[in-house]
Structure 1
Amino acid sequence: MSTREATIVTGIPWGQDGEEGIYYQLGSKYRRPVGNTWEDVGVVSRITVTDDLPGLHCNMERVRVFDGETVIFEAPLHSLEGVAYAPPSPALNEEQE
């Protein structure tokens, strides 16, 4: 199983027209419906993409969004619009030179 760290996840809304789309960004607040309004309820601490979701012929990739140790969102990668990954660390680039 491989794990990659991501910084942003976006997707289309599931459900009725007019809902907010799926958007999580590392370090930003996320919203949940509370009663008839949307409220900030936490901060995104980590976004991972792993290839451990069982598929028909091989494992598929899944995205998980965390608030601390709690998974607040999970979906197969192929069902999302986009994922942005963190740039490689400078230390990796220095080793290649």
Structure 2
Amino acid sequence: MAQVKIDADVWEVRLGQERPRPGYRLVLFFSQPTGQRPYRVTEVPEDRYGSQDDIDQLSKKELTELFKQSTSLDIPVYRSDEVEDVVMKKK
């Protein structure tokens, strides 16, 4: 699976099975290892990116360009052991 480091984050890059419109596929970026950042997505032409192997063979520069084109689509999901307790003070 392709990975790219952007700033201090490592992102796993996957080709989605979804076809948002004819001739296009989605490329998804998931932060590693915990997935605490929202995932990111961009559309790519299916004739150029038809399989995960096509994604895996991209250079860091090409992956970075795809990342720059992507948009955030989700909010992070935290496990209960990752969240510190917050104590609400009564007035």
TM (norm. structure 1) is 0.32
Larger RCO (CA within 8 A; separation ≥ 6): 1
Bigger Rg over Cα: 2
More strand by proportion, 1 or 2? 1
Per residue, is there more helix in 1 or in 2? Answer: 2
TM-score w.r.t. length of structure 2: 0.33
